[in-house]
Chain A
Amino acid sequence: MADEQPAITLYRLQACPYCERVVRTLDDQGLAYQSRFVEPMHSDRNVVKRVSGKRSVPAIVDDNTGVTMSESANIVEYLENTYGEGA
């Protein structure tokens, strides 16, 4: 919310294994991120739809690169390619 807000925002659902998979990757890469929790009902996820085009979580917004992305496999691949050792 303030000036020190991390560049990466993760839209997530509590206890969602796909979201935890992304969290593990973020932690592995040592990346700071801000978690925004939404509710299980898809119809209650307009904010995710607004930022990513669909209501699925996880979704990330990376202000470092301007990238917004859904689907945990895609996100993990993106994070590793962008911030991993080979990047």
Chain B
Amino acid sequence: MVDFDVVDLPDHDAPATGDTAPDFTRPLVNDEFWEDASLSDLTDDGPVLLVFHTMAGAFPATYVWNELRDRGVPEDVQAVGVSISSPYEHKAFLEERDVDARLFSDPAADVAADYDLEHDLDGMAGVTEHRPAVFLLDEERTVQYRWVAAEWPDFPDYEELADALAGL
């Protein structure tokens, strides 16, 4: 790692383990099309790994989805991302990264606000995106496991996540 302190991110009040994750409806993008869908539609079908990440093109989005893909996570659980990227960008991202997941498009970052995970980007005036975070939700949208970035950048603890997935 680097030999200097990376930037700390502020305290937050994101949903914690045992809380119910706020529901939302946004365009949900797969490799062929997008349509409005609710988080609760997905959890009705089974557990969901909800991944907040940077806009497509920034390396943290690439890293996190490469890692989840290489670990086979989308085969174990419905894996869905959320970022401010447009549906067109999401679709290109899924194709380029060959990721078997679906991505919510939340350009105004209102979902980030609902989860208290807004991240105002320094040097990009007016751009607020989602602070990197991971929520493992059961069928009732109850948070079973949570990880929230403490630094910028910061990446999920994939071993811990694997344990949480195994415990579903």
* A residues near B115, Cβ cutoff 8 Å: none
**CB of A39 within 8 A of chain B?**
yes
* A residues near B38, Cβ cutoff 8 Å: 1-2
Minimum distance in angstroms from B118 CB to a CB of chain A: 26
Known contacts A1-B41, A2-B41, A2-B44; A39 and B88 CB within 8 A of each other:
yes
**CB of B87 within 8 A of chain A?**
yes
**Size bracket, chain B contacts:** 10 to 19
* A residues near B35, Cβ cutoff 8 Å: 1, 34-37
Residue in A11, A34, A39, A47 whose Cβ sees the most chain B Cβ within 10 Å: A39
**Size bracket, chain A contacts:** 10 to 19
* A residues near B33, Cβ cutoff 8 Å: 11, 36-38, 47
- Could you tell me the distance between the alpha carbons of A37 and B90 in the complex, rounded to whole angstroms? 13
**CB of B156 within 8 A of chain A?**
no
* A residues near B91, Cβ cutoff 8 Å: 39
- Could you tell me the distance between the alpha carbons of A35 and B45 in the complex, rounded to whole angstroms? 21
- Could you tell me the distance between the alpha carbons of A9 and B44 in the complex, rounded to whole angstroms? 21
* B residues near A37, Cβ cutoff 8 Å: 27, 33-35, 87
| Binary contact track B69-93/A, C-beta < 8 Å → 1, others 0 | 0000000000000000001100100
**CB of A46 within 8 A of chain B?**
yes
Q: Are A36 and B44 in contact (CB under 8 A)?
A: no
Q: Which of B44-64 contact A (CB under 8 A)?
A: 44-45
A–B pairs, 30, beta carbons within 8 Å: A1-B28, A1-B35, A1-B37, A1-B38, A1-B41, A1-B42, A2-B38, A2-B40, A2-B41, A2-B44, A2-B45, A3-B44, A11-B33, A34-B35, A34-B36, A35-B35, A35-B36, A36-B33, A36-B34, A37-B27, A37-B33, A37-B34, A37-B35, A37-B87, A38-B32, A39-B88, A39-B91, A46-B32, A47-B32, A47-B33
A-B contact sample (16 more), CB < 8 A, given A1-B35, A2-B44 = A2-B38, A2-B40, A2-B45, A3-B44, A11-B33, A34-B35, A35-B35, A36-B33, A36-B34, A37-B33, A37-B34, A38-B32, A39-B88, A46-B32, A47-B32, A47-B33
